Amino acid sequence: MKLAIFEIEEWEHEAFEPLNRAHEVIFVPGRLTADTAAKYADIEMISTFVHSELNHTTLKSLPNLKLIATRSTGFDHIDTAYCCEHGITVCNVPSYGDNTVAEHVFGLLLTISHHLREAFDRTREGNFSTEGLRGFDLREKTLGVIGTGQIGRCVIGIAKGFRMRVVAFDLAPDHEAARQLGFDYMDLNSLLKESDVVTLHVPANDSTRHLLSTEQFQLIKKGAVLINTARGTVVDTRALLWALANGRIAAAGLDVLLEEQTLRDEAELLRCYFRREKNLETLLADHLLMRSRNVHITPHNAYNTQEAIRRILKTTVHNIRSFAVCQPQNLVVLNDNGHRALSQQGYKAAV
């Protein structure tokens, strides 16, 4: 079968070399987009990361496509309804960086609590003044974890090392995990009112879109810190700007933004402006967040360690091989009411 691997770095080629014996493999450094898809009309299997455009327009240009092996846990960048209608199998990587993302959460949190970015910038300029750099301890603070899947539980384990009190919200509470790890479940509103730090670990779907919006930010403990390493859609960007401006949120650490792909590509940004293809107010709000001194943003990089990438590649190769012998693994499926969902194994990892 013909296989195209997109968004691939040269050092990653080696992981896919064993597939060359059974398939015709091509490597493409760039993203797959609607503009480039026609060049790959004969491709039967593709593997991409989250920056490729796997929407209706792109997929329609790939009439021979049988498999999408996304190198991610999340799959909100894929038009799964189209795939279901046209018999395209979609596989993901259910678990690859639970501890990796959890460690990034605390990288962002410590950057905020100890004013690390300001301290680095100041000393680089030869200024060793500590004025304005007084931070706060994590010990005895309350951490509110929204989503207690594998990543959320890793976050809780690290928080216990800092001697934080942990409360959590999840639509499907795992009371045995709560007993073992020593945290308490509560409803979302109570968690927001009690937490000094709120961290998000839910998948992107219709039920989590704008999970935190104006109503929730009005409830949140004044001066709380928000950490989001999940997806940009989970937070209403304009509501977050309001919360920052009014002191409801003291600071935010974000690895994701709602329009991060558009912001990433200057040409795409200009095209969206002239065609009005995106919500320009949201784009402006994202730009304002990027310029805010009390907002610390990383470029969707929480997953990006050597160990995690190798785990992603290994699982992706396994997914492609399994599909080729008619035993597909780690399937992304549609649930009965038409909402996008993962297989049971994948859902627990994504949360």
Q: CA 335, CA 342: separation in Å to the nearest integer?
A: 8
Percent of the chain past pLDDT 90, that is, above it, reads 78
Q: Is the pLDDT of residue 4 over 60?
A: yes
**Tokens 């690390």 -> residue:** 116
Which of 46-60, 70-84, 165-179, 328-342 has the weakest average pLDDT? 328-342
| Mean pLDDT confidence for 230-249 | 93
Q: Write out the E strands in 61-100.
A: 67-69, 89-91
**DSSP element (H, E) containing 100:** helix 98-113
| Mean pLDDT confidence for 161-182 | 97
| Mean pLDDT confidence for 279-299 | 74
Bigger pLDDT: 290 vs 55: 55
Q: CA 5, CA 45: separation in Å to the nearest integer?
A: 9
Q: CA 151, CA 202: separation in Å to the nearest integer?
A: 9
Would you please indicate which residues are annotated as catalytic (active-site) residues? Answer: 231, 260, 300
Distances (CA, A) of 244 to 46, 153, 326: 41, 28, 51
Beta carbons within 10 angstroms of residue 142's beta carbon: 17
Check residue 49 and report its DSSP letter. Answer: -
Radius of gyration of the chain (CA): 21
Q: Is the pLDDT of residue 11 over 60?
A: yes
Q: How confident is the model at residue 302 (pLDDT cuts 50, 70, 90)?
A: very high
Q: Write out the E strands in 109-218.
A: 142-146, 165-169, 184-185, 197-200
Give the pLDDT of residue 292.
80
Indicate whether this model's pTM tops 0.85.
Answer: no
CB of 168 within 8 A of CB of 145?
A: yes
Which of 32-46, 107-121, 204-218, 260-274 has the weakest average pLDDT? 260-274
Give the pLDDT of residue 74.
86
Bigger pLDDT: 197 vs 347: 197
Percent of the chain past pLDDT 70, that is, above it, reads 86
| Mean pLDDT confidence for 307-321 | 96
User: Which domains does the chain carry?
Assistant: 2-96+306-350 (3.40.50.720), 98-297 (3.40.50.720)
| Mean pLDDT confidence for 184-197 | 98
